[in-house]
Amino acid sequence: MPTKYAEGTSVSIARSRDEIERLLVRHKATGFLYGEQGSRAMIAFELEGRRYRMELKYPRLSDFSWGERANQHGRQEYERSPAQMETALYAEKQRLWRGLVLLVKGKLEAVASGIATIEDELMSYTVMSNNETVGEWLSPQIAEMYKTGQMPPLLPGANHRKQLTAGVIEGEVMR
């Protein structure tokens, strides 16, 4: 089984958070916050007048009740103690935060290098006026489109006509 990115890292969650904050400040972010509650952690920041939010979803402690170790016959599963489960969960949280550092660093570097725009790189993380991100709002619509094979309405509640600034295009929107 391939190794996951940053598996076995010794970098603390706080150090990863600080690194993300420094990256954002270097790229002119005007605000930064982070939070953690239960099985979720998030960062939020403002950049070029827009707000963005990225979330991490932590696994459950019970997901770490079994471990694997090497022996002379290959690999063997074993039941972890509660303390071992906590240690394994914390290690996974550290790994996830390192992945978030990589994601943020990669997106900001792509923008700084002129490969992409900030809007394109962070679109799904853009916070809308209803406090949903674009990704949270759009993902179910895309899933429904692929499930049914039908496009959602261009503008919910519209009269089923595509509109341009120069006028109206006659015809039905395909559903």
The pLDDT value recorded for residue 164 is 45
Residue 104 has what DSSP assignment?
A: H
φ/ψ region of 127 (left if φ > 0, alpha if ψ in -120 to 50, else beta) reads beta
- Rounded mean pLDDT of 89-102? 98
pTM above threshold 0.85: no
Please state, in angstroms and rounded to a whole number, the distance separating the CA atoms of residues 44 and 50.
11
Please state, in angstroms and rounded to a whole number, the distance separating the CA atoms of residues 124 and 136.
8
- Which residue is associated with the tokens 């759009």? 138
The pLDDT value recorded for residue 167 is 45
Residues 6+ apart with CB under 8 A from 17: 34, 43, 97
Model confidence at 9: pLDDT above 60: yes
Buried b (16+ CB within 10 A) or exposed e, 61-97: eeebeeeeeeeeeeeeeeeeeeeebeebbebbbbbbb
φ/ψ region of 4 (left if φ > 0, alpha if ψ in -120 to 50, else beta) reads beta
Domain 13-61+94-127: top CATH class: alpha beta
CB atoms within 10 A of CB 106: 11
* Helix ranges (DSSP H) in 44-133: 82-112, 118-122
CB atoms within 10 A of CB 174: 9
What residues does each domain of the chain span?
13-61+94-127, 128-175
Model confidence at 169: pLDDT above 50: no
Summarised one tens digit per residue, pLDDT across range 107-156 is 999 999 999 999 999 999 999 999 999 999 999 988 988 888 887 666 66
